[in-house]
Amino acid sequence: MAGQMIVVGFAGDSVDDKGVVSAREQIAAGTLGGVMYLKTNVASLKAVREMNAAFRDASPGLPPFLTLDQEGGSVERLTSDVGFKEVPNAATIGAGHPADARSIYNRMARGIADVGFTVNFGPVVDLNLNPKNKIIARFGRAYSDGANTVTVFAEQFIAAHHQAGILTAIKHFPGHGSSTDDSHEGYVDITDSWQAKELEPYRNLIASKTVDMVMVGHLINTRYSELPSSLSPEWITGVLRDELGFDGVVISDDLEMGAIREHFSLKETVVRAVRAGMDVLLFSNTAKARVSLASEIRDI
């Protein structure tokens, strides 16, 4: 059960690489719940398909999470470099018609499913509230500054993936769109910028019973908690579970981002996240890449 709570990044881009073999062995042993792909893992669509098939075959009775970030725009692991048809970013799609969005995401989701992925970390449901935002607005990752528009386009993303048999994870709870800093780099304090309406897409989508996972970001709002939201029971249990009524899977954003790694040890991170109510711990395994990471997490 502890193994199923862990998803990690891995080294390698072909089925026989040491990191891929190790991850497959850990999945087969039940000590690892799944893997996350980065661009460095994608040498070709054929190689990705072979690796994902090997991961699935390692645990046919309990399929692993085979995950990636494929939002569109600048956040894509499968790109035109390997023959994958890229799609526009959320800001571009959000300026159009929902029916067009559904068509675009249908094609993207089918392509993701074709190479064997089971989870796509999207859609972004942040509101585009700060045009100077370093990580959301800068890359056009939000559909709109309006909660209803964001909800409508997120629904198209989710429905397309469900049709292709892929789970999704709406992000970045409780809202990254008003922030001024990037949690990849360090602490992001949203105390003075965050607005309650940033919860509305979550409220809307959760009410529609279409949400598989919610990805929690590393955002600090001291009016709620002194801890980043990914380690905060006030946010995960108090707001997401109790107030919004979410009963699905809660997954962290990458727990090796600067906002966490620079302030908490691995043990502190794991203990606080689990006690806060996190179901799945996501580690990119890039800060100090090693095949033993999942074992270290599980042994805490």
Give 156-214 pLDDT, tens digit per residue.
Answer: 999 999 999 999 999 999 999 999 876 677 778 999 999 999 999 999 999 999 999 99
The mean pLDDT value for 120-139 works out to: 96
Q: Is the pLDDT of residue 144 over 80?
A: yes
Residues near 274 by Cβ (< 8 Å), separated by ≥ 6?
5, 281
The residue to which tokens 């029971």 are assigned: 233
- In angstroms, the CA 21 to CA 15 distance is 7
Structure pTM? 0.97
Q: Is the pLDDT of residue 264 over 70?
A: yes
Q: Is the pLDDT of residue 134 over 80?
A: yes
Instruction: Provide the b/e sequence for 215-227 (b: ≥16 CB within 10 Å).
Output: bbbbbbbeebbeb
Q: Look at residue 184 in the predicted model and tell me its pLDDT.
A: 73
User: Is 177 exposed, middle or buried, given 0-12, 13-18 or 19+ CB atoms closer than 10 A?
Assistant: buried
The angle formed by the CA atoms of residues 90, 95 and 96, to the nearest 5 degrees, is 100
Question: Percent of the chain scored above 90 by pLDDT?
Answer: 96
Q: Look at residue 187 in the predicted model and tell me its pLDDT.
A: 77
* Cβ atoms within 10 Å, residue 256: 21
- In angstroms, the CA 100 to CA 63 distance is 32
The mean pLDDT value for 17-46 works out to: 97
Q: Look at residue 183 in the predicted model and tell me its pLDDT.
A: 65
Give 53-92 pLDDT, tens digit per residue.
Answer: 999 999 999 999 999 999 999 999 999 999 999 999 999 9
Distances (CA, A) of 139 to 91, 120, 178, 214, 295: 9, 18, 14, 21, 35
Residues near 154 by Cβ (< 8 Å), separated by ≥ 6?
123, 125, 143, 170, 201, 205
Give 236-260 pLDDT, tens digit per residue.
Answer: 999 999 999 999 999 999 999 988 9
* Cβ atoms within 10 Å, residue 1: 6
- In angstroms, the CA 72 to CA 300 distance is 36
Backbone angles phi, psi at 7, to 5 degrees: -125, 125
The residue to which tokens 């699905």 are assigned: 248
Q: Look at residue 80 in the predicted model and tell me its pLDDT.
A: 98
Q: Tell me the three-class secondary structure of 8-51, residue by residue.
A: EECCCCCCCCHHHHHHHHHHHHCCCCEEECCHHHCCCHHHHHHH
Reported as a pLDDT band with limits 50, 70 and 90, residue 2 is confident
Average pLDDT, rounded, for the chain: 96
- In angstroms, the CA 171 to CA 57 distance is 30
